[in-house]
Amino acid sequence: MFKKILNLFGNDDDKKSSSDEEKHSKKACINDEQDDDDDDDDDDDDNDNDDTRQWPEEERGQKVAAELDPVTLHGLHYTEEQFDAEVEKRVQQLIKEEKEDGGEVEQVDIDNFYLNVRRDLYQEWTGANSNMMLQWEQANSMKYTGRAAFGNTQHDENNPLLAPIHGVTLQDYAAISYYMASGSDYNAIMNQLGIDDAVYQEASTLWTKRMQQDTTATVTVLFSQYYGSADQHPKLQAVAVELSPKGKETVEKMKSDRFFYEELCGARRAASECGMDGSQWIMDNYEVPLGEFQKVAVYHGQQDQKHIVFEDQMKYSDYQEKKVEEYKKKFMEEQGGGVADDISF
């Protein structure tokens, strides 16, 4: 989910489809009888958007049988120490059994043992369904995986990777990125912050390097979180470029209508795959600059993380993939055929 959001901050070509894990989980949840109907539903978007019959009832929404801690989402009927001790006990037993069977246990195997045992034990002790388990996993991502999770990461003033660079904070850097992508004048941005071009260029390089070096992804996650509220930066609101009425209407619809947002994501990707500038196509047709588009992506990412419902996320992902194919066909027809049509053998 977070990966989908970050892809919007890179090149259009970097946009990927759902992960292998998502595909595996989707196959586990969808009944086989639905497969034969896939090709017949292309002309009925409303049915595609609303159909949840293929998901087992117990896996819809978030369900849990125990009372949970509001922060950690662990059950209140046990302690975290008890949970961790039981996980350790079960993992060590799995490692022992694997070795007794003559198997070679590598670190990747051990990591998978911990991941799956934690998931199984959480559901066993709390009665949580898969969606609730994924929500818990996100809330405890740093503790159990050493990786920051989008929407669950706080700014730690004692983290040296978050210290300002030449006076440019991570909040500043996110806001600068947003305003530049939204069409604000670069020099005006620099003047408002009181920094010169050389300072910013070096700060930008070093912030990017920190993101690459940060094995916890904390810097990248916080950058995305700050990007989502970048238009509230106290020093930069004066340089904002006013959206057109059509642009404002589109942004509001993208936020309120998830399927419309996924359609535009699909169109943007399709345009890129057809050799076009996807972001410029959105600007030309909907008057929404890249910065605003990315901010809406962050908004939906935050909403998804507040309440993980896997079947909804897969529905959105499938809908976007469908729109990619529809717009690719449309763009290629407008261009007079695909790239291969221009090659003579």
The pLDDT tens digits of the residues spanning 234-288 come to: 999 999 999 999 999 999 999 999 999 999 999 999 999 999 999 999 999 999 9
Give the model's pLDDT for residue 150: 84
For residues 5 and 298, the answer to whether their CB atoms sit within 8 Å is yes
Give the model's pLDDT for residue 311: 83
**102 has pLDDT over 50:** yes
Segment 334-344 mean pLDDT: 61
Give the model's pLDDT for residue 338: 53
Tokens of 79: 């302690």
Tokens of 133: 């388990």
**8 has pLDDT over 60:** no
184 Rama sector, left if φ>0, alpha if ψ -120 to 50, beta otherwise: beta
Give the model's pLDDT for residue 253: 97
Segment 220-226 mean pLDDT: 94
Give the model's pLDDT for residue 54: 60
CA distances for 190 relative to 177, 201, 233, angstroms: 12, 11, 14
Q: Single out the residue of 281, 292, 14, 296 nearest to residue 177, CA to CA.
A: 292
CA distances for 75 relative to 64, 126, 151, 190, angstroms: 10, 6, 21, 49
Q: Which tens digit of pLDDT belongs to each residue from 112-146?
A: 999 999 999 999 999 999 989 999 999 999 999 99
* Average pLDDT over the chain, rounded to an integer: 84
Sole residue written with tokens 């810097």 = 219
Confidence of residue 55 (pLDDT cuts 50, 70, 90): low
Give the model's pLDDT for residue 119: 97
Confidence of residue 337 (pLDDT cuts 50, 70, 90): low
Q: Single out the residue of 308, 313, 312, 311 nearest to residue 134, CA to CA.
A: 308
Backbone angles phi, psi at 70, to 5 degrees: -65, -20
Give the model's pLDDT for residue 91: 97
Confidence of residue 18 (pLDDT cuts 50, 70, 90): very low
Give the model's pLDDT for residue 321: 97
Higher per-residue pLDDT: 39 or 176: 176
**330 has pLDDT over 90:** yes
Higher per-residue pLDDT: 316 or 306: 316
Confidence of residue 308 (pLDDT cuts 50, 70, 90): confident
